[in-house]
Structure 1
Amino acid sequence: MEIRRLNPEDAVLYKALRLEALQNHPEAFGSDYEAEKDRPVDRYATRFQSEQAATFGAFHEAQLVGVVTVVCSELDKMRHRANLFAMYVTPSIRKQQVGQQLVQEALRALEERPWIEQVHLSVVRTNEAAKALYRSLGFESYAIEPRALKIDDTYHDEELMWYRF
């Protein structure tokens, strides 16, 4: 398994995995399949060049099988914070610690920015596997955001977690 930061050349693979994630687990993401299916690949490629964000990918046999993104705040008063977003591992490769490796790589990258003191994330409250993963890496829960997402007539609460360096 190769874990590395994605670059613009990975945009096509990323988009395909992102759309898979949005179809398989719409409750886990703020965006949705309809909003992203027609998004140009160049938009992802540009995002991969950002100094404020980094997306890490897990590759198995040249296929992108997992991703996670970290975004650092640009605001002076929030410069000490980063956010972890868009975590996804394709079902066929789950339970092989790919998610753990992705988050660990993202945290290592953030450690290179000594001004980053903490990392925040939100996870749908019913996703016990993801919450267990984050807790195993040192994230702690600090709040529940009720009805954070609404899909059709169903609401989903999100658990807010943070990690302190």
Structure 2
Amino acid sequence: MEIRKLNSSNADAYIEIRLEALQTNPEAFASSYEEEKHYSLEKVQNRLEDDYSCTIGAFENETLAGVVSIVREQRPKIKHRANIYAMYVTPEKRGSGIARKLMIDALEMVKQMNRIEQVYLSVVATNEPAKKLYKAFGFKTYGVDRRALKVNDIYYDEELMVLAL
């Protein structure tokens, strides 16, 4: 397995795994398949080349099996913060350690960013495997956003987590 930062040349593979994620686990993301299926290749390429965010991918035999995104805050009062978004591992690769390896590399990238002191993420409150993973890295729950997402008339709470570096 190879873990590396994605760039515009990976846009097609990223679109494929992202749309799979939004269909497979719609409760885990604020975006929906219906929104993102219309994103142009150029939009995704630009997102993958953005200066304030990056997406890391786990490749097995050149097939993208997992992703995670890091976004650095830009406003002056919160520039000491970064956010982890859109963690996803394909169902057939879950339990193989890919998510752990993605988190290791994501946190290493955050530590290399200038002046980042805290890392934030949110996770669906019922997603015990993900919460266990994040807690293993030292993330602590600081709140619960009740009924944060509504998917097919079902509400999902999100746990808000932070890691102090």
CA–CA separation in structure 2 for the residues paired with 1:34 and 1:159? 25
Identical residues among aligned pairs (%): 47
Equivalent in the alignment of 1:2: 2
How far off is 1:16 after superposition?
A: 0.3
1:71 aligns with 2:71: yes
Note the 1:50-61 alignment, pairs <5 A: 50-61=50-61
SS in 1 for 2:156: strand
Equivalent in the alignment of 1:30: 30
Note the 1:15-164 alignment, pairs <5 A: 15-164=15-164
CA–CA separation in structure 2 for the residues paired with 1:96 and 1:151? 28
SS in 1 for 2:55: strand
Unaligned runs of 5+ in 2: none
Which residue identity is paired with 2:43?
Answer: R
Size of the aligned set, in residue pairs, is 165
Unaligned runs of 5+ in 1: none
How far off is 1:164 after superposition?
A: 1.0
CA–CA separation in structure 2 for the residues paired with 1:24 and 1:151? 12
Equivalent in the alignment of 2:13: 13
Aligned-residue CA RMSD (Å)? 0.7
- TM-score calculated relative to the size of structure 2: 0.98
How far off is 1:152 after superposition?
A: 2.5
Q: Which runs of 4+ in 1 moved over 6 A?
A: none
Could you tell which deviates more after superposition, 152-161 or 8-17?
Answer: 152-161
How far off is 1:113 after superposition?
A: 1.7
How far off is 1:102 after superposition?
A: 0.6
